[in-house]
Amino acid sequence: MRDLTKKQRIPKNPKHPERICWGCDRLCAWNKMMCGNGSERSQHPAELFGDDWYESLTADELKYIELV
């Protein structure tokens, strides 16, 4: 379960987002997913929405996310 008092650190544009599953706080390697997420990894927002994905975040979303 996620600790809501601690912000999750998410890089704005990681070098190799395809190497990590971004579906939970564990950030597992794409081939060693421990959360039971299934056989497919969750993509980083930059892969889905482009390099400026973080510009559309709301103030409420930024309460839980630290962009690095």
Q: What is the DSSP string of 31-64?
A: T---S---SSPPPPHHHHH-TTGGGG--HHHHTT
Sole residue written with tokens 């497919």: 40
Instruction: Kindly state whether residue 2 falls inside one of the protein's structural domains.
Output: no
User: pLDDT tens across 1-53, in order?
Assistant: 555 678 888 999 999 999 998 888 888 888 888 876 566 888 999 999 999 99
Answer whether residue 1 is part of any domain.
no
Quote the number of domains for the chain. Answer: 1
Which domain, by its residues, includes 33?
8-67
Residue 32's pLDDT is what? 84
Dihedral angle of Cα 24, 1, 33, 47, to the nearest 10 degrees: -10
Whether residue 3 is contained in a domain is answered as no
pTM of the model: 0.77
Give dist(CA 22, CA 3) in Å, integer: 17
Residue 51 falls within a domain, yes or no?
Answer: yes
